[in-house]
Structure 1
Amino acid sequence: MPDIESIKADMARPLKIVQVLPALNSGGVERGAVELARELVRGGHTSVVISFGGRMVESLVAEGSLHIVMPVHRKSLVSVFQVRPMRQLLASLDADIVHVRSRMPAWIVWLAWRKMDPASRPKLVSTFHGMYSVNGYSAVMARAEHCIAISNCVQRYMQDNYNIENTRVTLIPRGLDPSAFNDNSCSKEWQNELYAKYPLMRGKHIILMPGRLTRWKGQKAFLDMMARLVQLRDDCHGVVVGDAEPGKQHYLDELLDKQVELGLSQQVSFVGHRSDIAAFYSLAAITCHMSNKEEPFGRTVPESLASGTPVVAYDRGGASESLNAGFPQGLVPADDVVAFAARVADLIAAENAISLPESYYLASQTASTLAVYEKLLAE
């Protein structure tokens, strides 16, 4: 049994961390993995990410991580053919930690990892990014040596459904980089370019609805809310930021039809996927979060608060937790579109005090995640 000083000396060395997730296109899980990878590199550690690739790979590599393309994204039995290559890859990488962030990659990694030599294999960590359907497929996330929960409601879900011991779970809210959310991104030049493309936004209070276009994110409810809001105030313009998911273009078509049906063609703009979301947060008067089910975290809530922009959200799930922590006056009863519109109208004219705890920032997340890694390695 090594003494405490030798453990401390070992922990002082740089670590090699492998993160595994399906792809790197868009979304909170992907952005979180890329941001953690960047912070690991900044801290002198070696960062490796395994995924099927995507639009975020270029920035990941530019910031110092190694990206390895592997088809770990298919929710299919054919993915078992990736188990042996994964075992060989993990052995060749000689990593300290392998960190899984999604169920299918977790199955591939776990099946590979369990047949490796326990004396030399990496420590296995999982992050529950969601409250998955409770079944054998999802249970693989609980088989890691240590599990991270991104919110209190996710931690309750983990312990209620998988009986994970308290000692194997750590609550670490997803952190954001404060330097990415500041007024500098919303320059006059940027605004002028935006208004040239979307002239109906000029001179209006921007009511922002960020998030990929999928039914549970609540874009339809946002349109209903905007129809009521413009009756209360005629100086608002709704902006929906986000793309339709692959194969779900029909949902965007439904939203555009509903926009016309509600007479909002002049009051709401759909701007698609944007890489300048921080500028939109700074421009907005209010950011809306309207998911129609309990969301595990709700990344747009702390991001907007970090930008100094108030958020109105339904009082449920992870979004409720972060809003309670930083701007509780933005909470409204779940699914009450009328109350939502009234709260937006009230907050536009109010003096709003926002205070987001340090635990919602990237430095805290990185330090807490490294503490999990180091605890496992010490054990």
Structure 2
Amino acid sequence: MVNSTPDLSGVTILQIIPQLETGGAERTTLEVGKAIVAAGGRSLVVSEGGPMTQELTRDGSTHIEMPVSSKNPMLIAANGQALAKLITDEGVSIIHARSRAPAWSAFQAARKTGIKYVTTYHGIYWAKSSLKRLYNSVMARGDAVIANSDYTAAAVRDAYGEKKWFPDEDHFITIPRGADLSRFDPDALTADRKAAALAAFGGAEALRILLPGRLTEWKGQEVLLNAAFTLQKREGAVPFRVVLTGSAQGRDEYEAHLRALTEELGLTHAVHIHGHWDDMPAAYDWADVTVSASTRPEAFGRVAVESQAMGTPVIASAHGGALETIADGETGWLTPPGDADALAQALHNFMHLRKDAKSSISAAARARAVSLFSTEAMTAATLCVYKRLIQGQGSE
């Protein structure tokens, strides 16, 4: 990982992402934009906007609203023309796409204007048809292609590594996502923020279990609820509190299903489905243990890193990025995906750890996040990719 940040004085970088609502790709967009400005460059971001726009502009980036989430071919082409004009008017050196639909517009604009085109894989795009594989392929056609984990890199290489247009090894780079260690810092939390989380989530005298993530089936909320049911049967009167944070984002039927399942399992006293929660450092601090029960592999999984940065150990599904972010038995635990019984066993084991053992795991979790997964390392490595492309050099 690159540790020094290059000088980007006089350079304009344009990032493009569908929306600035919530999520890891959106957060990374903001972090890289802030780093570009700090390095003396000019940061432009094209999206359809959203709640994170205010933070983006506060940190020095300029936001340009454009309907770039649409998959309509005619609108994608029109966006490409608009982006080409924007690139010319603003003197953009690099356009960096973080999602497929806007990536096609960015690809078109980059080829028309002759600037460098960069992509980041924030997730794995599966395809069962040749048409879908073609649609997905735009993310692998960059002058530089960034993967957010070794797991992601292996999947991309397996899908497109034999294509003649696939970038060489110097331009296919793994840059793990980072956590903002100034934000995710246990010592930075105020008593008021801690009290607000406790008031919102409850569980003052209970084992506190947190599952952050949007309410969608593959994030594993149902797996955790079934594990909690098993834990309740096994532990009897021992109190615990399960909190699910994250927006349903229109998946009202799934949220209703989770609430019905909670009642069916007799867990209404122990489970709180909170919805969106802004202060994630306080949420991780509230928790004794964080669960990431995804039934599909996470390409990276920022929850594991952010939680560890706050000194809160993680129990995660043993696939995808979690195999890289969690040291099993040292900073957290890995369990088979979708296995509620194994998750219940891991929670049982954690519950019965000695206090000194929990403290040791907490310290190790924080140390791992600090040493391997900082925002500073991620943004510095990304800016070095930009600098080397501008200079016509290879990327490491």
TM-score by length of 1: 0.91
CA–CA distance in structure 1, aligned partners of residues 285 and 324 of structure 2:
22
Match of 2:126 among 115, 133, 143: 133
1:16 aligns with 2:16: no
Matching residue of 2:216: 214
Q: 1:126 is matched by which residue type in structure 2?
A: T
Secondary structure of 2:112's partner? coil
Q: Is the 8 A contact 1:185 1:278 kept in 2?
A: no
1:307: Cα distance to partner?
Answer: 0.5
CA–CA distance in structure 2, aligned partners of residues 162 and 88 of structure 1:
31
Q: Is the 8 A contact 1:186 1:280 kept in 2?
A: no
1:108: Cα distance to partner?
Answer: 0.8
1:367: Cα distance to partner?
Answer: 1.3
Q: 1:330 is matched by which residue type in structure 2?
A: W
Q: 1:209 is matched by which residue type in structure 2?
A: L
Q: Is the 8 A contact 1:182 1:282 kept in 2?
A: no
Matching residue of 2:322: 319
1:235 aligns with 2:239: yes
Q: Is the 8 A contact 2:16 2:97 kept in 1?
A: yes
1:295 aligns with 2:291: no
* Mean CA deviation greater in 52-61 or 78-87: 78-87
CA–CA distance in structure 1, aligned partners of residues 41 and 242 of structure 2:
43
Percent identical pairs in the alignment equals 34
CA–CA distance in structure 2, aligned partners of residues 219 and 147 of structure 1:
32
CA–CA distance in structure 2, aligned partners of residues 325 and 14 of structure 1:
45
CA–CA distance in structure 2, aligned partners of residues 296 and 73 of structure 1:
21
Provide the aligned length of Structure 1 versus Structure 2: 364
Match of 2:96 among 81, 94, 99: 99
- Cα distance change of structure 1 residues 341 and 77 upon mapping to structure 2, 3 Å threshold: same
Q: Is the 8 A contact 1:311 1:327 kept in 2?
A: no
Matching residue of 1:65: 61
CA–CA distance in structure 1, aligned partners of residues 256 and 299 of structure 2:
27
CA–CA distance in structure 1, aligned partners of residues 197 and 287 of structure 2:
13
* Mean CA deviation greater in 146-155 or 181-190: 181-190
For residues 295-340 of structure 1, the C-alpha deviation after alignment (integer angstroms, 9 at most, x for no partner) is 1011100000000000001110012211138946511222222121
Matching residue of 1:123: 116
Q: Is the 8 A contact 1:213 1:243 kept in 2?
A: yes
Higher relative contact order (Cα pairs below 8 Å, separated by 6+ residues) = 2
RMSD (Å), alpha carbons: 1.9
Matching residue of 2:338: 335
Q: Is the 8 A contact 2:218 2:296 kept in 1?
A: yes
CA–CA distance in structure 1, aligned partners of residues 38 and 336 of structure 2:
42
Matching residue of 1:258: 261
For residues 154-200 of structure 1, the C-alpha deviation after alignment (integer angstroms, 9 at most, x for no partner) is 1011111111332220110011110111235654333444444554x
Matching residue of 2:374: 361
Q: 1:110 is matched by which residue type in structure 2?
A: F
Match of 2:25 among 2, 23, 29: 29
Q: Is the 8 A contact 2:20 2:50 kept in 1?
A: yes
CA–CA distance in structure 2, aligned partners of residues 198 and 239 of structure 1:
7
1:34: Cα distance to partner?
Answer: 0.9
1:228: Cα distance to partner?
Answer: 1.6
* Mean CA deviation greater in 257-266 or 320-329: 320-329
* Mean CA deviation greater in 291-300 or 82-91: 82-91
CA–CA distance in structure 2, aligned partners of residues 50 and 327 of structure 1:
41
CA–CA distance in structure 1, aligned partners of residues 191 and 380 of structure 2:
36
Q: 1:129 is matched by which residue type in structure 2?
A: H
1:373 aligns with 2:382: no
Q: 1:221 is matched by which residue type in structure 2?
A: V
Match of 2:110 among 109, 113, 118: 113
- Stretches of structure 1 that go unaligned for 5 or more consecutive residues are 1-9
